[in-house]
Structure 1
Amino acid sequence: MKISEFIEKYDSSNQFDVLKKTYTQIEFAWNNKIDLGSIKKKGIDSVVVTGMGGSAISADLFANFFKDELEIPFVVNRSYTLPAFVNKNTLLIVSSYSGNTEETISVFKSALKTKCRIVCITTGGKIENIAKKNKVPVVKILPGYQPRYALGLSFFTLLKVLTRIKIINVKPGLVNSIIKLYKDKSKLYSKEKNSALSYAEEILGYIPVVYSVEGFTSSVGYRLKSQFNENSKLLAFHNVLPEMNHNEIVGWESFDEKQFQTRIINIVDKEYPARVKKRLDIMNGITSESKVGVINLESHEKSFKVRLMDLIYLCDWITYYTAVLRGYDPSEIRNIDLLKEKLA
């Protein structure tokens, strides 16, 4: 079967078209008019982004994106509870695509009892209602997407909010260069034969073990792992260097593909520190003795920030193609829906 036939058969919600048009999410988010006039900008000494799933990954990506520029602590909170250090000088971003994420609502309610500064990013739901009652500014984003397919909205809205509040600066032309990249890559990845599809074919029949580098590409590695889980309905695992060199690397000594069929996927970047590059090379030598297949994913764009976005987009396409090749709907998340029903 041609890949277009797999798509027609299994992609009931046409996520193929959503992926192709991801650049339109970026355009909307960056041009969206926002009013943060009520937020006092002076004196902010920490930022906390509270959210789950795609909303939290947006914050992970932000931390990697501005690894050399963030001058205050930036914390990603995946929890029901508000970090104890939050105070009047903390900026809290409450991020939930649906507006109904119960962990995020719990944190929001706790935050209202403090004097921290709060901004909400959502399509609506309970979070918008709570925000309106408490006169908390809300940045509305486009509804109608699966949250994990709305990373362009959540990430670039976060980027705009923190630019407006002067936590970071975005160089002129950066966002436009990413939009252009996504337009170009969408044409490439939507062809009948393309590199994202080739990677997906290489992964078929295997459990992915993804390795990235803390502080550089950890967001990409975790995003890829999560997208394999949700899109491809596939168990996948992620760890980071150099930490995995202190524990997980030993596990490969007893690797037996008859018991555990896997492929290692390394997220590679030319900006890694020299010692990390050496660690990665040594690790590849060790794992090659186990005869496990290795896939290296790397972007060759000039800017580190653009390379991150390039890798994120490639990973989304890889997991999409893995889903339809395995005969799964890349939209459906049955176990998550079941869990929410039982929690209700």
Structure 2
Amino acid sequence: MKITDFINKYDSQNQFQVLRNSCNQISDAWNNKIDLSGLKKNSFSSILFCGLGGSAISGDLLSDYLYGELTIPFNVVRGYNLPSYVNQNTLIIISSYSGNTEETISCFEQALTRKSQIVVITSGGKIEEIASSKKIPVIKIPGGFQPRYALGLGFYSLLKLMQELGFADENKNVTDTINLWKRRSDDFSGENNYALQIAEQLVGFIPVIYSAEYLSSAGYRFKCQLNENAKLHAFYHTLPEMNHNEIVGWESYKEKQFHTKVIYLLDKEYNPQIIKRFDTLKELLAGQAIEILTISSNEKNRKVRIMDLIFLADWISFYASVLRGFDPSEIDFINRMKQRLT
């Protein structure tokens, strides 16, 4: 079968075309006018980003994207409760694509109680209703996507907010990324393309993804996309931390027990010691007959390289899904969990 046959058979909601048009999400988010009237700019002691799943990854990605540039603490909360330090000098960013994520609503209500400054990123739902009633700034993004397929909207809305607040100046990088994703959409949508080749190598294996530094969120995103799109267990860790714990687990590796492939997300600007650690780990894993797939980007700008790898991973997970005979849209267990909790 050709890959188009797999897509036609399993891609019920045409996520293939959603991926092809992802560059338009960036443009829409970046051109969206943001009204921050009422927000006390330049008065934040810290920023807290609240979200879950596909609505949370933008916060992780921002930390990596602005690696070494942010002048105040920026943290991500995935849960029901805010940390005790949150007060009126904390900027709370509430991110929920649907606007109905119960954990994020809980954080929103606590932020209101603590009189924090708040900005909301959503397509609607209960969160938009609360924000409107409290006259809280809302960055409204288009609905109709599954959250994990709306990263261009979520992340670039967040980045635009950070630029409006004076924490970033990203016009050129955004333009470069739009152009890159346009090219990659053509590159990754043809027969026998690079993303498809990687996906084919993962069929029948459990991926273990290793990245470092400012590619930490890219590695985690890759893992989650394989989980949701391909219905595939995948694991993820970062260097150097895994060199102090997980590395020992490979000593007892037996292929019949754990049929796996390791994926490296590498970058030329990693700390030299990090690169040395990846090389040494490769030697150790070779002794256990473990195959390593290495993925990197050749783009000149580090921030553009991050987004290049993010987009590649999204395409790989899509192809892994249809090649394994799964619908890249369906998330049955997540929906059943939500139903049990209502």
Say whether the fold is shared (TM-score over 0.5): yes
Q: Distance in 2 between matches of 1:83 and 1:128?
A: 23
Aligned to 2:207: 208
Name the structure 2 match of 1:50.
Answer: 50
Q: 1:138 maps to what in 2?
A: 138
Superimposed CA distance per residue, residues 124-179 of structure 1 (whole angstroms, 9 cap, x where no aligned partner): 0000011111111111001000000000000000001111111x122441111000
d(CA) in 2 for partners of 1:207 and 1:171? 37
Cα offsets for 1:21-52 (capped at 9, x unmatched): 00000000000111001111022121100000
Aligned mates of 2:84, 2:139 — CA distance in 1:
26
In the other structure, the counterpart of 2:268 is 270
What residue number does 1:176 align with? 175
CA contact (8 A) 2:47 2:92 kept: yes
Q: Partners of 2:116 and 2:263 in 1: how far apart?
A: 40
CA distance in 2, matches of 1:242, 1:140: 39
What does residue 97 of structure 1 align with? 97
TM-score under structure 1 length normalisation: 0.98
Q: CA deviation at 1:273?
A: 0.3
2:187 aligns with 188
Quote the residue 2:153 is aligned against.
Answer: 153
Structure 2 residues without counterparts, runs of 5 or longer = none
Give the aligned residue type for 1:58: S
Distance 2:272 2:290 in 1: 25
TM superposition shift of 1:193: 1.5
SS at match of 1:216: helix
- Percent identical among aligned pairs is 54
- The aligned residue for residue 76 of structure 1 is 76
The alpha carbon displacement at 1:116 in A equals 1.2
* 2:18 match: 18
Matched, 1:38 2:38: yes
Is this contact kept in 1: 2:159–2:168, CA < 8 A? no
Amino acid at match of 1:203: L
What are the within-5 Å matches in structure 2 for residues 178-327 of structure 1?
Answer: 178-213=177-212, 215-327=213-325
State the alpha-carbon separation in 1 of the partners of residues 45 and 303 from structure 2: 24
Deviation string for 1:48-93 (max 9, x for gaps)? 0000011211111100000121111000111100111111111110
RMSD of the TM alignment (CA)? 0.7
The aligned counterpart of 1:340 is 338
Q: Which amino acid aligns with 2:46?
A: S
Report the residue type matching 1:276 in the other structure. Answer: I
Inter-partner Cα distance in structure 1 for 2:163 and 2:52: 22
Instruction: Tell me which moved more, 284-293 or 119-128.
Output: 284-293
Separation of aligned partners in 2, 1:123 and 1:172: 24
Distance of 1:297 and 1:57 partners within structure 2: 20
Question: Partners of 2:24 and 2:171 in 1: how far apart?
Answer: 19
Asked if the contact 2:211–2:265 (Cα under 8 Å) also holds between the matched residues in 1, the reply is: yes
Structure 2 residue aligned with 1:331: 329
Equivalent residue of 1:119, what SS? Answer: strand
Give the counterpart letter for 2:243 in structure 1: N
Structure-1 separation of matches of 2:214 and 2:32:
28
Moved over 4 A (4+): none
Q: What is the alpha-carbon distance in structure 1 between the residues aligned to residue 305 and residue 73 of structure 2?
A: 24
How far, CA to CA, are the matches of 2:326 and 2:49 in structure 1? 32
Displacement of 1:115: 2.0
Deviations along 1:186-226, whole A, 9 cap, x unmatched? 0010001200000000011000001111x311000000000
User: Partners in 2 of 1:49 and 1:6 — Cα distance?
Assistant: 38
Structure 1 position 340, deviation (Å): 0.6
**Letter in structure 2 aligned against 1:59:** G
Distance 2:282 2:298 in 1: 21
Which letter does structure 1 place at the counterpart of 2:240? Answer: P
Return the alpha-carbon distance in structure 1 between the equivalents of residues 171 and 256 of structure 2.
Answer: 52
Contact 2:42 2:165 (8 Å CA) reproduced: no
Distance 2:81 2:217 in 1: 22
Distance 1:290 1:155 in 2: 39
Whole-angstrom distance in 1 between the partners of 2:169 and 2:55: 20
> Residues of 2 paired with 1:256 and 1:179: CA distance?
43
**Aligned-partner residue type, residue 289 of structure 2:** K
AA aligned to 2:194 is S
